[in-house]
Amino acid sequence: MTIVLLGYMASGKSAVSKLLGTVLELPVLDLDDYIETKEGKTIPEIFETKGEIYFRMKEHSYLKEVLEIKESMILSLGGGTPCYANNMNLIHTYTEHTVYLQTSIPEIINRVKNEKAKRPLISGISDEDLPEFIGKHLFERNAFYQQATHSIFTDKKTIEDLVEEIKTTLH
């Protein structure tokens, strides 16, 4: 069984996937980490040196590579992964277990405000413009996120709560 976690930046995909993998005794693969290893650069470096179009092409290619392994795993996607290159259709070809970790705009802002430099999409956005930017971005991406087979609201929940909710949802 492959379980794919998706959602906007700072929704908890990486943290939840690690604990979920431990609890379900499944290997965990973070697609962004995989891309960084394969490319020998961080995601911000890839965006800066080669641009977003190059990144999205590579992201699709590596996503396909990972899914074609066909081994049970927890796969954590980057926030934009579901929104490009028909990736949601590709994912649904390989698994029916997709979970959207839905997080409110205020909660996202709270989680990212001190780590903007590590997040290429918001690194140049001023703090006062962040709510509008994230709101527009979420609106644009929502149609893709809503294609997940399950949605779980993350606000005010611990990682342990989210893992338990995912386990209950999937069984």
- The CA distance from 72 to 55, in Å, is 26
| Lowest model confidence (mean pLDDT) among 19-23, 80-84, 90-94, 113-117 | 113-117
Residue 120 pLDDT exceeds 80: no
Residue 141 pLDDT exceeds 90: yes
* Verdict on whether the full-model pTM lies above 0.85: yes
- Report the CATH architecture of 2-163: 3-Layer(aba) Sandwich (3.40)
Q: What is the pLDDT of residues 82-97, one digit of tens each?
A: 999 999 999 999 999 9
pLDDT at position 171 is 83
pLDDT at position 92 is 97
Residue 67 pLDDT exceeds 80: yes
Residue ranges per structural domain of the chain: 2-163
Tell me how far CA of residue 3 lies from CA of 30, 100, 166, in angstroms.
12, 11, 10
